Structure 1
Amino acid sequence: MTVCRDCCCGNAAKRPEVDHAAQLQHLQAALPAPHRVRTSLCLDVCEQANVIVVHPTPAARRVGARPVWFGLVGDPAIIDDLTNWVRDGGPGSAELPAILELSLIPAPAGTNQLPREAGE
């Protein structure tokens, strides 16, 4: 899972109703190894802040699963739904819960759908 935390995502000025640090801590606590929660530089969909990308497992990717992008992720219930879906297998392995379809966004045009990690 990649969590955007650059110019707009994770910014209290843009989304003051969200405790951004607590959101990231909750994700990290809810998805221990073998899962990986990482932060990213800007994912170029700032109007959708906060943005989270859920990556398929390597096995699911080998059979065609692609990363799934979510926007306007602020509510703790969405975080819980995301973490449950990831623990169930995520993209290509578990059916996307209908409630999460409300948060789906397209990957930015011109990307290969893979976000850059901060520091890459």
Structure 2
Amino acid sequence: MNRSVIRAAVPRPCALVVCRGCCCGNPRKHPGTDHAWQLDRLRAGAAEHGFQFRTTDCLGPCDQANVIVVQPSTAGRRAGGRAVWVGFAMGDDCTDDLLRWAAEGGPGIAEPPAALALQLIRPPREARGRGRARR
């Protein structure tokens, strides 16, 4: 007799999605920022604290580069958390705040640090449309 085993989905942790498209991470656009160092810190923080980290091509709001999207964990999404877009994500303080928030659980689990909350931006129209289509 063949039986299918249905397993509960593995909970997904919080994730940082870092734009590295045309403007984000571009040393000509932001010459005072060490973009490679920021990626190294975020990657190390993800390994240390158990959240996910990945880079992606252009996310769209180039006038607000560097852009990082903080995606909620499975638990965060169940608690009402949604993806949060952070603009002008450069420098030590911003990177520290992103690492702390992701380590604490991210959207739906923990509030963003106060300074980081001032950098939240609206996602481009295409991203907002994709979010509605999944419901």
CA contact under 8 A between 1:72 and 1:103: conserved in structure 2? yes
Q: Is the 8 A contact 1:54 1:67 kept in 2?
A: yes
* 1:5 corresponds to: 20
**Structure 2 partner of 1:45:** 61
- Alignment match of 2:109 (pick from 65, 78, 93): 93
Q: Distance in 2 between matches of 1:112 and 1:41?
A: 17
Partner amino acid for 2:51?
H
1:57 aligns with 2:73: yes
Give deviations 1:55-112, integer Å, cap 9, x for gaps. Answer: 1001211332101110111111110011001111110001222111121111111314
SS in 2 for 1:60: helix
- Runs ≥4 in structure 1, deviation > 3 angstroms? none
1:17 to partner: Cα distance: 0.7
Identity %: 48
TM-score for the superposition, normalised by structure 2: 0.79
1:24 aligns with 2:39: yes
Matched to 1:13, the amino acid is: R
* Contact kept in structure 2, 1:4 and 1:41, CA below 8 Å: yes
Q: Is the 8 A contact 1:107 1:113 kept in 2?
A: no
**Alignment partners' CA distance in 2, 1:19 and 1:75:** 8
Higher strand share: 2
Larger Rg: 2
- Equivalent position SS for 1:66: coil
Q: Which has the higher helix share?
A: 2
- CA distance in structure 2 between the aligned counterparts of 1:61 and 1:80, rounded to whole angstroms: 23
Inter-partner Cα distance in structure 1 for 2:35 and 2:122: 23
| Alignment length (residue pairs) | 114
- Per the alignment, residue 96 of structure 2 pairs with 80
Distance 1:43 1:108, change over 3 A: same
Cα RMSD, aligned residues only: 1.5
